[in-house]
């Protein structure tokens, strides 16, 4: 670039309302840590790839808040010192990627350095010293797994949700949907709440990762597009259909919903009747009544359909409500994690998503969670009501999730109600039993050991009476405790063996075996009462130390 072009580029960068994922300003007046420079290189290069921009910029000698020129003395010895940076950076980055160029401007206000950074090559996220970095708004942060995989998959697959709708403009987006998106984004990013209000719509959409460089993506149409903007997605559809069926599976009512899906989620939710479920009369284990379906569970299941639908198949998302207590959500596309058990047991996000860009957009708008915790919470909410676990029917090109809004097996509900410490894995085993599904040998052995099942393979059934006994006998003993004489005998046995016992000796001997229902202060008070009873009433021990440091010894019998 010429001197004039550089000045114009700097002017343009300084005119931005704030730093972006691909533009960073640093004062760097005297020095800047080399390792931190490498991290910024990795982050800006990766973000340039994700934003589909041709370059990113790191600028030294600029104050961030007002974009004032303050000047930098970073590597001010000679030009060769700056040029060596290219090789130094390349030595620790993936594929030895380094700066496109390092520009030096000596202006009246001070010296400015402009580091021109290339986007990460398609399929190759850039690591610095073995670690991947990205940007969370203006902050340096580790590149999340979804973004790493999105870059890696560029070489072999196309993310339909990130594709640009060439003819669509910001006027094709719904104003109410954008307002709700902003509010959701504030919830996700509370520290930016005040700043968000100052952003214009284009800035917000870019920062929320819904548009790419002001260009409208398929994801933007799905989440925020006006209903009439759906045609931009053709031959794909942005369509949700709610259907109400009676107990004989006959259709009684239906309604179609188009984009914007950020609004459609609430509209579908309002169509679902979600009646009150009344528990069995005179059963004190259960509450009187609850909603058939938890609001979070409905929204989570529907949001997952939106996020993971294979839109290239041209189908729609279906929500089928049945009057006999079932609610089914279905979307097209294979279930990429393979099984629902994989999602529940994993503590990490999937390696990649079908609609990586759409998932990222929905995460930024607080619509879904990427770690699978939303699905785990669905299961836990069902178990808190003692209802069956969600059922997932996973086919080659379709996924169906069914919620049951009633108790199927009373013994299943009773076991859950009386064993609040059950692990989710154990609840899933018991759920298989009530639904007459096949159990593995390990599951059979585990449930038998806990006393939760009876019968012979494959005809098992849940036994609340056995489970109640097996699950509560040990707890009963621990909570009731032993008789006082047992503790007194232990103290006397200790004194007989060692000649005397201090307060700390007796505490160490007794406190750990006192009932679990007692708090530590209550246990300490119990020990004091025992010792008092032995010395004043039983006359079996006396204090031969001081009041502050008692030493208890046995009183010899005179008989």
Q: Which residue has the higher pLDDT, 227 or 521?
A: 227
Q: What is the pLDDT of residues 350-359, one digit of tens each?
A: 666 889 999 9
- For the domain made up of 482-554, give the CATH fold: Arc Repressor Mutant, subunit A (1.10.10)
**Dist CA 285 CA 268 (whole Å):** 33
SS3 of residue 446 by DSSP: helix
Mean pLDDT of 513-522: 76
Residue ranges, comma separated, of all CATH 3.30.950.30 domains in the chain are 3-154
Mean pLDDT of 251-278: 95
Q: What kind and span of H or E run contains 456? A: strand 453-456
Q: Which residue has the higher pLDDT, 394 or 269?
A: 269
**Dist CA 243 CA 249 (whole Å):** 11
Q: Is residue 286 very low, low, confident or very high in pLDDT (cuts 50, 70, 90)?
A: confident
Cβ atoms of 444 and 433 within 8 Å: the answer is: no
pTM above 0.75, yes or no: no
**Dist CA 333 CA 96 (whole Å):** 38
Q: What is the pLDDT of residues 43-94, one digit of tens each?
A: 999 999 998 888 999 999 999 888 999 999 999 988 888 989 999 999 999 8
Residue ranges, comma separated, of all CATH 1.10.10 domains in the chain are 482-554
Residue ranges, comma separated, of all CATH 3.30.565.60 domains in the chain are 239-405
What CATH number has the domain spanning 3-154? 3.30.950.30
Given 3.30.420.40, 3.40.50.300, 3.30.565.60, 1.10.3470.10, which CATH number is that of 239-405? 3.30.565.60
Q: What kind and span of H or E run contains 391? A: strand 391-394
Mean pLDDT of 531-541: 92
Mean pLDDT over the full length of the chain: 89
């Amino acid at each position: 670039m010429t001197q004039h072009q550089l000045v114009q580029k700097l002017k343009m960068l300084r005119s931005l309302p704030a730093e972006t994922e691909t533009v960073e300003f640093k004062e760097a007046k005297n020095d800047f840590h080399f390792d931190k420079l490498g991290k910024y290189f990795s982050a800006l290069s990766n973000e340039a790839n994700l934003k589909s921009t041709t370059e990113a910029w790191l600028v030294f000698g600029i104050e961030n808040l007002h974009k004032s020129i303050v000047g930098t003395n970073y590597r001010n010895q000679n030009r060769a010192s700056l040029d060596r940076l290219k090789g130094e950076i390349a030595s620790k980055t993936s594929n030895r990627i380094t700066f496109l160029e390092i520009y030096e401007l000596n202006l009246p206000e001070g010296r400015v350095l402009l580091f021109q950074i290339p986007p990460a090559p398609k399929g190759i996220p850039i690591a610095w010293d073995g670690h991947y970095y990205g940007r969370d708004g203006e902050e340096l942060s580790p590149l999340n797994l979804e973004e790493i995989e999105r870059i890696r998959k560029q070489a072999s697959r196309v993310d339909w949700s990130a594709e640009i709708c060439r003819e669509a403009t910001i006027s094709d987006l719904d104003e109410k949907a954008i307002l709700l998106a902003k509010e959701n984004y504030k919830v996700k990013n509370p520290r930016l709440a005040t700043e968000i209000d100052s952003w214009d719509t284009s800035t917000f959409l870019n920062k929320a990762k819904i548009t790419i460089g002001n260009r409208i993506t398929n994801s933007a149409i799905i989440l925020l597009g006006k209903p009439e903007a759906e045609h931009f997605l053709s031959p794909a559809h942005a369509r949700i259909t709610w259907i109400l069926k009676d107990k004989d599976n006959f259709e009684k009512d239906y309604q179609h919903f188009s984009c914007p899906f950020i609004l459609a989620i609430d509209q579908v939710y309002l169509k679902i009747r979600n009646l009150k479920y009344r528990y069995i009369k005179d059963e004190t284990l259960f509450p009187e009544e609850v909603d058939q379906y938890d609001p979070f569970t409905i929204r989570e299941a529907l949001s997952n359909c939106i996020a993971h639908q294979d839109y290239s198949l041209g189908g729609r998302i279906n929500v089928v409500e049945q009057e006999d207590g079932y609610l089914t959500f279905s979307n097209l596309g294979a279930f990429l994690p393979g099984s629902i058990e994989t999602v529940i047991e994993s503590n990490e996000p999937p390696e990649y998503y079908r609609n990586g860009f759409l998932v990222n957009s929905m995460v930024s708008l607080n619509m879904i969670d990427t770690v699978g915790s939303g699905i785990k919470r669905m299961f836990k909410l069902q178990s808190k009501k003692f209802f069956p676990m969600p059922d997932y029917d996973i086919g080659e090109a379709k996924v169906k999730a069914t919620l049951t809004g009633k108790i199927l097996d009373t013994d299943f509900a009773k076991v859950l109600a009386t064993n609040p410490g059950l692990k989710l894995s154990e609840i899933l085993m018991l759920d298989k039993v009530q639904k007459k599904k096949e159990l593995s040998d390990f599951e059979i052995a585990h449930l038998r050991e806990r006393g939760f099942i009876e019968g012979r393979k494959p005809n098992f059934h849940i036994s609340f009476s056995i489970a109640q006994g097996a699950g509560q006998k040990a707890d009963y003993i621990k909570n009731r405790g032993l008789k006082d004489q047992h503790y007194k005998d232990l103290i006397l046995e200790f004194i007989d063996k060692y000649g005397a016992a201090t307060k700390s000796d007796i505490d160490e001997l007794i406190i750990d075996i006192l009932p679990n229902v007692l708090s530590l202060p209550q246990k300490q008070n119990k020990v004091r009462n025992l010792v008092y009873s032995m010395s004043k009433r039983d006359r079996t021990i006396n204090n031969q130390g001081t009041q502050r440091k008692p030493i208890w010894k046995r009183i010899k019998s005179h008989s």
